[in-house]
Chain A
């Protein structure tokens, strides 16, 4: 899922300041924490309160889109709602904002979130963690289900490096060394030989250019 964080309210307010009638669009897709109907309503209330303090009275309309990143769903959900709307405030990730911009080219579309990474939610520890770098050439088979591209600070393919101390990465004492984890896991599963296989150099081009894939 795409992990997002709400932009500071001040920043959102500044971006909304030229507009009066605003459609706040939640996204029921993969954004985490969920940014659906409730969050859209909460944001409308918060911005309404902040607007009042600044002597500005916004008119908000609140809806949610099943998936903002789907051009068809975005268009069919939003088009019936835009009469009299000056701007759309999207609670989706950057993909959502751009998809809406494409399907409604005459409207201003503004982001309410900063998309942070592709991650997972550890509910017990109440933390969201980056788990996938969308590198385009998944190597989890060889690394025991632990991604060094997303989880090693240097994105190394042949770690651990000299900065690995007592299972921690030198970048931060809170950060586990992904390669230590990989080797421990492979040893435990009796699969350490996976790392002895000779592989051709990795094609880093895969995640450099703007990527495209057939639907």
Chain B
């Protein structure tokens, strides 16, 4: 399919662009460049990962973004301010956790307006200011990924600087100290070393050399380098590993809940949270359930089978294209595992119930197109 005619998630409006090239200097993926000859700023959408860092930094508002733009976020906050009846806002990067349970625990708060975004790097300063001044929010908590482990490389670091400047400004205007607080957190592997069988899978597959097997000891993990992709967990044959916040039990419980909630023919999607971003208001389809994972690498053969056992008719795995995996080899290994399982399911006539696809958020329609295609196939196979 030609990508030229497809809708894209980031636009550069040349009329507004002053060619200051702030965006080009900040883009972690070299998708925006300043042409040395013409001096013009150009966007190469094929490289864009829709992190939104350029969008939030553009002083001329020449960039428009298809996901989580400031106006949509503000509209959400207006509604949520009433719905949650709280003057505390908690903004969390999706990379931190799949829900707000941990966020509340880490920050010691229980009542707040929740907002989960695919990287905080996309939040412009004026959104914070509008929220504080117009919505009478008294305190904003930010829970973001560790600086060096930001899935979009610079989002966490840039946001840290932004918040420091905003807090100074707000203090000057009498809002008190540190109205916006920022905490960093990246989920890590948890190992039950008593269960380790020393097979070496984690050592081989870890993209960050965090796992080590020395002598006859159980595998050891260096948590300083672990980025929480979940690949070792999905591939551990002894079920000795877990990923914080995305524990097997949590995923199993989500499968059970969705399997009982959604209608026939039931379709479940395991989606890398960087492959497609959910709309702010959540996705709704009567027969589709979605479980967002920290990386396709966390897609677990056992969870897929569990879902089929609970009456799910079709399972779609949505991953980033291999060369765009934010965690190096997650997407590639997920494809391999899914293909191996598909072959085994094929032996009992269920191979068609599982499908793997690669999508990228730069094409907002591609995830939906894959889903629609799969839905049609499953509906047809169910007669």
Contact = CB atoms under 8 A, between A and B. Distances in A.
A167 interface: no
A38 B302 contact: yes
A91 B196 CA distance: 18
Given A34-B201, A42-B301, A42-B302, A53 B236 contact: no
B182 interface: no
B237 A49 contact: no
Interface in A45-61: 45-46, 48-50, 53
A41 B347 CA distance: 17
A35 interface: yes
A46 B239 contact: no
B239 A38 contact: yes
Contacts of B238: 28, 34, 36-38, 64
B239 to A, nearest CB: 5
B76 interface: no
Interface string B202-239: 00100000000000000000000000000000001111
Interface in B233-269: 236-239
Nearest to A32: B199
Interface in B164-193: none
Contact of A9 (B302, B308, B309, B347): B347
A48 B309 contact: yes
B102 interface: no
B60 interface: no
B237 A46 contact: no
Contacts of B347: 8-10
A62 B308 CA distance: 18
Contacts of B301: 38, 42
Contacts of B350: 49, 53
B344 interface: yes
Interface in A9-49: 9-10, 13, 28, 33-39, 41-42, 45-46, 48-49
Contacts, number: 60
B218 to A, nearest CB: 12
Q: Interface residue tally of chain A, by bracket? A: 20 to 34
B349 A53 contact: yes
Contacts of A34: 197, 199, 201, 237-238
A9 B344 contact: yes
Contacts of A199: none
A6 to B, nearest CB: 8
Interface string B344-363: 11011110000000000000
Nearest to A35: B237
A45 B201 CA distance: 22
B135 interface: no
B136 to A, nearest CB: 51
A146 B301 CA distance: 37
B120 to A, nearest CB: 35
B197 A46 contact: no
A36 B195 CA distance: 10
A45 B302 contact: yes
A38 B344 contact: no
A8 to B, nearest CB: 6
B305 interface: yes
Interface string A47-89: 0111001000000000010000000000000000000000000
A9 B309 CA distance: 16
A123 interface: yes
B306 interface: yes
A13 B347 CA distance: 11
A28 B199 CA distance: 9
A34 to B, nearest CB: 4
A3 B345 CA distance: 22
A42 B305 contact: yes
Interface string B113-137: 0000000000000000000000000
Nearest to A29: B197
B197 A28 contact: yes
A50 B204 CA distance: 33
Contacts of B345: 46, 49
B348 A46 contact: yes
Contacts of B236: 38
Contact of B306 (A6, A35, A45, A123): A45
A38 B345 CA distance: 17
B348 A50 contact: yes
Interface string A88-103: 0000000000000000
A53 B348 contact: yes
A2 to B, nearest CB: 13
Contacts of B197: 28, 34, 36
Given A8-B347, A49-B350, A53-B348, A41 B308 contact: no
B302 A49 contact: no
A21 to B, nearest CB: 18
Contact of A33 (B195, B237, B305): B237
Q: Closest 5 interchain pairs by CB?
A: A45-B305, A34-B237, A50-B348, A28-B197, A9-B347
Given A13-B348, A38-B301, 6 more contacts: A33-B237, A38-B238, A41-B239, A46-B305, A53-B350, A123-B204
5 contacts: A36-B239, A38-B237, A42-B301, A46-B305, A49-B345
Interface of A: 6, 8-10, 13, 28, 33-39, 41-42, 45-46, 48-50, 53, 64, 123
